Amino acid sequence: MTEQSPVIRVEGLKRHYQLGDTEVRALDGVDLVISRGEFVAIMGSSGSGKSTLMNLIGCLDRPTAGRYLLEGVDVAGLAEPELAAIRSHRIGFVFQSFNLLARTSALENVSLPLFYSEGGRDATPRARAALALMGLAERERNQPSQLSGGQQQRVAIARALINDPAILLADEPTGNLDSQTSTEIMETFRRLNREHGLTIILVTHEPDMAAWASRVITMRDGRVLTDEAQPDNATTDQPARMPTQVPITRLGRMEPGSFVRMALLASLRAIVRNKMRSALTMLGIFIGVAALITMVAVGQGANASVTAQIASLGTNLAIVMPGATTSGGARGGYGSASTLTVADARAIAAEAPSVADIAYMNRASAQVQFAGQNWTTVIQGISPNFVTVRNWTIVAGRALTLEDDASGARVALLGETLRKNLFLEGQDPIGATILIKNVPMQVVGLLGSKGQSSFGSDQDDVILIPFNTAERKVLGAAAPSSTKTNTNPIFNGPPSPFGIQPRLTGLANSLYMQATSAEAVGRAIEEATAVLHQRHRPAPGQPDDFNIRNMGDLAQAAESTGQIFTLLLSAVASISLLVGGIGIMNILLVSVTERTREIGIRMAIGARRSHVLFQFLTEAVLMSIAGGVAGIAFGLLLAAIIAQLVGWPLVISPLAVVGGFVFSAAVGVFFGFYPARRAASLNPIEALRYE
Ligand code: ADP
Ligand code: MG
């Protein structure tokens, strides 16, 4: 036998367990030197400390006392990640119960250690080669339950060899196998030892199996009893397996890329293996995020629709209305509830510098007829600038002009609802003559649709005619039949060519003031109030007989209501997200318990605690993100359907989408961390024994 360097040197090794008051001395001072290329069998009765010794040699456990030098390095000085690296690169484990991952193909089982050593690079071809070496090329797709015990053990051996270790530790590998299969496994070991130079340490209590080894050690009560060479089986003068290039103290740490790849692949496999459970786990997050997205979109859609309606009333707008609050609002001489006049409008235009434009309107309900159709609608007599001040659009024909108003022309602008009710589809209303209160009027233009107002009325159910025309011919108490006179008291109308003041009241239902800017609305209201107060002079102790409303305030009030609405709904959605997160934590905790043995296996084949931690964390985050993304998609779909049904604009807030995503990921991290910590802190030996 050639001089061989010791690969394992054990001196005075002790491992004591405290069981209540009694101290169990599983190992009680073992001295042992094992050289490269040896094939050692350890024998002894049950409880003699064989497995304890194997776990210490395999760096799964730490001794209570004594020294263990592996390749000359004192293992006691190494930290957990370094021990994991040794298990990953230097040592292959084979167990009595095979310890393969269930519902996982032979190929995946064999490639598993590669994920913890190199992030799974070239995993498939290497695993295939290892399986072929074990004579299992045909069975790579089979799961453990589809393989015989001998085949399963050979898959386990292939897994132990995948990282090209220097030492193979086999703890009663044939304990569960019949004698013929056991012989096959032993032949495999001898071949690996002789042809590949692998150092093998085999635990067995069967002398038949020990007979295959080149050296037999027997143990009793935690000590070595005998240690004998079996010259017949002496390792041939094959060169012993050379130490792998990298010394154990410098075994590479996994690069970040490989690390991420490992975590992703391992967690993806775990998720796919439990499809139904994973789907149910995601459901909580899915519902939470979908509710969040839908509710925010619905809230914002409602908001946008209210805001749009208010904007459609006109921008920078304030409305002067007759004081409805006063009981005796009617003032002497006017004979009407309204006290606002065209002259008031003119005075405001002249004296209030913050008012850019002012329109006025008089309204009444009346029947409109055309070709046998009739429809009761709102007739609005308007100043020509009313259309622009109120943000109406003219979609066909022309607007009303100063000339129309001055001459009291019988012309009208039709609202969309009225057009639909009086005219057939495709019929051109422009130029048609309709009857308003039996007065013939020519349609000269069509108004663009404003839609339903949030106050419940159809804004398009309207017909606009010149103010003077309305007063004289349609709405006025005593409309003269003659149309030749012409005046109007409005400020921006042309001067009457005849200079005759008519006997008209000039009463308006409301005045629409457009301020010079949005900021100037408040000032415009103050100025107009002063002007009107001066003109109307309420009796002492009486309030003003008019009332000015800022449309911007209305818009703001509506908006803040909408915001409260959105906030409330989001709170409800957050609660369902929280519930979803707890669901993830619950499932993961169950899964950690259920997969305790799997975690032990992963650690035995080289997974570090940080690997296990990140693997479980990734699993949680992947599930919650998948649930979140599906929830975002479904929530958007639902929001679109609701918007379509209700007729709101579809408002998709990027903030809600990004927020839903980030929140679901955060839920995964938050609720996944505790189970992941628990998995990572498991003791590998106890985890391996877990039933
Ligand atoms: P073997 O593999 O030779 O059958 P082990 O090494 O498994 O024996 O166990 C040696 C002794 O240590 C036994 O008496 C066993 O009960 C005890 N032992 C092993 N592990 C533990 C533990 N975690 N806690 C307490 N006692 C233990
Ligand atoms: Mg044992």
Confidence of residue 3 (pLDDT cuts 50, 70, 90): very low
Ligand 1 atom closest to residue 172's alpha carbon, by position in its atom list: 2
Owner of token pair 């108490």: 477
Atom 27 (ligand 1) nearest CA: 17
Distance 323 CA to ligand 1 centre (A): 96
Q: What are phi and psi of 272, to 5 degrees?
A: -70, -35
pLDDT of residue 262: 80
Helix, strand, coil % in the chain, rounded to nearest 5: 45, 20, 35
Of the candidates 510, 512, 515, the one whose C-alpha atom is nearest the C-alpha of residue 527 is 515
Which stretch of DSSP H or E encloses residue 388? helix 386-389
pLDDT-derived band at 492, boundaries 50, 70, 90: very low
Q: State the Cα–Cα distance between residues 23 and 16, nearest whole angstrom.
A: 7
Candidates 21, 25, 42, 52: which one to mutate for ligand 1, based on the most atoms within 8 Å of Cβ? 52
Atom of ligand 1 nearest to the CA of 50: 3
44 CB-near residues (< 8 Å, 6+ apart)? 50, 205, 218, 219, 220, 225
203 CA closest ligand 1 atom index = 2
Closest ligand 1 atom, CA of 46? Answer: 4
Residue whose CB lies within 8 A of the most ligand 1 atoms, among 14, 17, 18, 171, for a mutation test: 17
For 624, the 3-state DSSP assignment is helix
Q: Which residue has the higher pLDDT, 42 or 259?
A: 42
Question: Contact 285/143 with Cβ under 8 angstroms?
Answer: no
Closest to 663 measured CA to CA, from 639, 617, 632: 632
Classify residue 544 by its DSSP letter.
P
Q: Which atom of ligand 1 is nearest to the CA of 52?
A: 6
Half-sphere exposure in the Cβ direction for 185 (13 Å, CA):
34
Contact at 8 Å (CB) between 326 and 543?
A: yes
Closest residue (by CA) to atom 16 of ligand 1?
Answer: 47
Cα dihedral angle (453, 459, 461, 465), rounded to 10 degrees? 160
Cα-to-chain-centroid distance, residue 235: 61
* pLDDT digits 0-9 by tens, 128-165: 999 998 999 999 999 999 999 999 999 999 999 998 89
Residue 303 per-residue DSSP state:
H
Q: Which residues surround ligand 2, an ion (CB under 5 A)?
A: 51
Mean pLDDT computed over 160-176: 93
| Residue type for position 382 | I
Distance (Å, rounded) from C-alpha 673 to C-alpha 468?
Answer: 77
- Residues 22 and 27: their CA atoms lie apart, in Å, by 15
Which range, 318-332, 333-347, 383-397, 620-634, has the best average confidence (pLDDT)?
620-634
Band of pLDDT at residue 193, cut at 50, 70 and 90: very high
**Cα–Cα distance between 289 and 300 in angstroms, integer?**
16
d(C-alpha 313, C-alpha 296), whole Å: 26
Nearest CA to ligand 1 atom 1: 47
Ligand 1 atom 5 nearest Cα? 49
- Check residue 481 and give its pLDDT: 37
The rounded distance, in Å, linking the Cα atoms of 263 and 650 is 39
Least confident among 74-88, 412-426, 528-542, 568-582:
568-582
Q: Are 207 and 228 in contact (CB under 8 A)?
A: no
Closest CA to 171 of 236, 234, 93: 93
- The angle subtended at Cα 171 by Cα 165 and Cα 175, nearest 5°, is 130
DSSP 234: P
Q: Which atom of ligand 1 lies closest to the CA of 48? A: 3
H, E, C per residue of 478-495 = CCCCCCCCCCCCCCCCCC
Q: Residue 350 region, left (φ>0) first, then alpha (ψ -120 to 50), else beta? A: alpha
CA-wise closest residue to 165 among 599, 597, 605: 605
66 or 426, greater pLDDT: 66
The pLDDT assigned to 549 comes to 83
76 burial (CB, 10 Å; 0-12 / 13-18 / 19+) is exposed
- Residue closest to 144 by CA, chosen among 171, 169, 108: 108
Q: CA 86, 87, 89, 95 torsion: positive or negative?
A: positive
Element (H, E) at 316: none
H helix count then E strand count, the chain = 20, 20
If you measure from the C-alpha of residue 238 to the centroid of ligand 2, how many angstroms do you get, rounded to a whole number? 31
Q: What's the rounded Cα separation, in Å, for the pair 314 and 310? A: 7
Whole-angstrom distance, CA of residue 622 vs CA of residue 628 = 9
Residue 508 in this model has a pLDDT that exceeds 90: no
String of b and e for 468-500 (b: at least 16 CB within 10 Å)?
Answer: bbbbbbbbbeebeeeeebbbbbbebbeeeeeee
pLDDT for residue 256 is more than 90: no
Give me the residue label for tokens 């409303």: 549
Sheet holding 215-220, edge to edge: 91-94, 167-171, 199-203, 39-44, 215-220, 223-229
Q: Whose CA is nearest to atom 10 of ligand 1?
A: 49
Distance between CA 8 and CA 71 in Å, rounded? 6
Ligand nearest to the CA of 53: 1
42-56, 223-237, 269-283, 503-517 — which one is most confidently predicted on average? 42-56
Other beta carbons less than 10 A from residue 402's beta carbon: 16
Residue 634 has pLDDT above 70, yes or no: yes
Whose Cα sits closest to atom 24 in ligand 1? Answer: 17
> Which residue minimizes the CA distance to atom 2 of ligand 1?
51
CA 83 to ligand 1 centroid distance, Å:
22
Pocket of ligand 1 (CB under 6 A): 17, 19, 24, 26, 44, 46-52
Give the distance (Å) from ligand 1 centre to CA of residue 600.
17
Report the distance separating Cα 661 and Cα 170, nearest Å: 48
Residues 6 or more apart whose Cβ sits within 8 Å of residue 22: none
Give me the pLDDT at residue 424, please.
87
Residue nearest to atom 6 of ligand 1 (CA): 49
Measured in Å, residue 270 CA sits from the centre of ligand 2 at: 30
What whole-number distance in Å separates Cα of residue 391 and Cα of residue 454? 16
- What's the pLDDT score for residue 311? 67
CA distances to 185, 313, 433 from 470, rounded to whole Å, are 109, 22, 16
Tell me phi and psi for residue 607, to 5 degrees. -75, 135
Tell me the CA–centroid distance for residue 225 and ligand 1, in Å: 17
Ligand 2 centroid–CA 678 distance in Å is 26
Separation of CA 528 and ligand 2 centre (Å): 99
**Structural Rg of the chain based on CA atoms:** 45
Q: How confident is the model at residue 252 (pLDDT cuts 50, 70, 90)?
A: low
**CA–centroid distance, residue 593 to ligand 1 (Å):** 23
Whole-number Å distance, alpha carbon 46 to ligand 2 midpoint, is 7
Residue nearest to atom 18 of ligand 1 (CA): 26
Q: Which ligand is nearest to the CA of 52?
A: 1
Q: How far is the CA of 48 from the centre of ligand 1 (A)?
A: 8
CA distances from 637 to 291, 294, 633, 660 (A): 11, 8, 6, 15
Using CA atoms, how far apart are residues 313 and 450, in angstroms rounded to an integer? 9
Q: Quick one: which H or E segment has residue 108?
A: helix 106-117
Q: Is 314 helix (H, G, I), strand (E, B) or coil?
A: coil
Task: Report pTM.
Answer: 0.69
Nearest-CA residue for atom 22 of ligand 1: 17
51 CA from centroid of ligand 2 (Å): 4
- At residue 573, the pLDDT reads 77
Amino acid (one-letter) located at 679: A
pLDDT at position 263 over 50: yes
Q: What per-residue confidence (pLDDT) applies to 336?
A: 41
| Segment (H or E) for 121 | none
| pLDDT of res. 327 | 42
